[in-house]
Amino acid sequence: MSRLPLEGITVISLEQAVAAPFATRQLADLGARVIKVERDTGDFARGYDRKVHGMSSYFVWLNRGKESIVLDLKSDDGMRTLKDLVSRADVLVQNLAPGAVERLGLGPDDALALNPRLVHVSISGYGRGGSHEQKKAYDLLIQCEAGLLSVTGTPDAPAKVGVSIADISAGMYAYTGVLTSLLQRAATGRGDVVEISMLEALGEWMSQPYFYAEYGGAPPVSSGAQHASIAPYGPFPTADGTVFFGIQNEREWATFCTGVLARPELSTDPRFSTNTLRVENRAALHEAIEEAFGGQATDEAVARLDAANIANAQLRDMRGFSAHPQLTERNRWRDVASPVGPVRSLIPPVTSREADFRMGPVPELGEHTAAILAELAERPVTAAAAAGQRTPGS
């Protein structure tokens, strides 16, 4: 195995749920040592479901390659242990409730006083300051606050995104923020304080509909699986199913009319000659397309779209995604060890010629408590610091 990019970097994470664990799992994949600090009941994401042979699908996804230590942070010994770990770490990541890390004595100023080279990372719902600072923030609620539900679903039935997109966006910015600060520290020798709010992270991803509405005079129309501002773009019925495709420019529209619909006259129809006009006349446009596709089987429609080099897709469920031929042909699946046996997982989406990645085991609660405490040479392991401790395999 070639060198891992973050070998030698130690991350302490006071994390729960999705956002922070998503960031630190990616750091672990790149070779960082990630020590996950858990209470005796564990990260509550361990209990979100029991779908992976009794383990939570969320926890399996977010926590491979980490070490789990259980500490009683209400005890003096537990706090001394945590501060020992932070004093030796490169990065501290936390997404506790607002103000909780300060009450532990590990807010940004206190933590950097303890370890001036530390990169201190906080993920919150709404950020420090402002009237919403103390407001609870869950993924769906941030989707609402960022306006995402106003552009999904239909006008009659707004729909949330089916994955934790607000958490994922915040986790991605935390991940890239850590990498940026580590590069900066290499030049300056100083640590950093990094803050990410879920609202602002998802808000960045909402910038296109914001600009559209702010300067266009009206918000995008919720259009289900259709595209709000491009047409045709979305699902269309065939004789035996549905095909999805999208047209991006006028050259593609002309090719589509000639090679797929066999109706070249539509390319110059004054109702459809530009994307703006096609959006304005979407009902008539769809009627013409559905008339042509209605007599074709899905496989035939896809073959015609492929022959014309028009982007298209099948509507796959999770079983279809799992069996996707492209992922198999590119060898993108690996088995990851876990307390319940190997779990088939996607390898990281970014691969490098020069650097490798690691997909370490999913930890059992407190699996590494004894080993980590033994590393701290300043004092012996105490019962209080190891509250709830488990040994590997227990």
The set of residues, in sequence order, having a beta carbon less than 8 Å from that of 118 and lying 6+ positions away, is: 86, 89, 90, 91, 92, 111, 112, 191
Cβ neighbour number for residue 130 with a 10 Å cutoff? 11
Between CA 59 and CA 284 the distance in angstroms is 47
What are the distances in angstroms from CA 365 to CA 20, 341, 345? 17, 15, 20
Lookup result for tokens 């779990």: 343
DSSP assignment of 352-386:
-SS-----PPPPPTTTTHHHHHHH-TTS---TTTT
DSSP assignment of 341-354:
S-EEEEPPS---SS
Q: What share of the chain is helix, strand, coil (3-state, %, to 5)?
A: 40, 15, 45
Pair 199, 126: CB distance under 8 Å? yes
DSSP assignment of 204-230:
HHTHHHHHHHHHHSSPPPP-TTS-SSS
Closest of 382, 241, 355 to residue 6, by C-alpha: 355
Residues marked as catalytic: 227
The set of residues, in sequence order, having a beta carbon less than 8 Å from that of 42 and lying 6+ positions away, is: 68, 70, 365
Backbone φ and ψ of 150, nearest 5°:
-75, -15
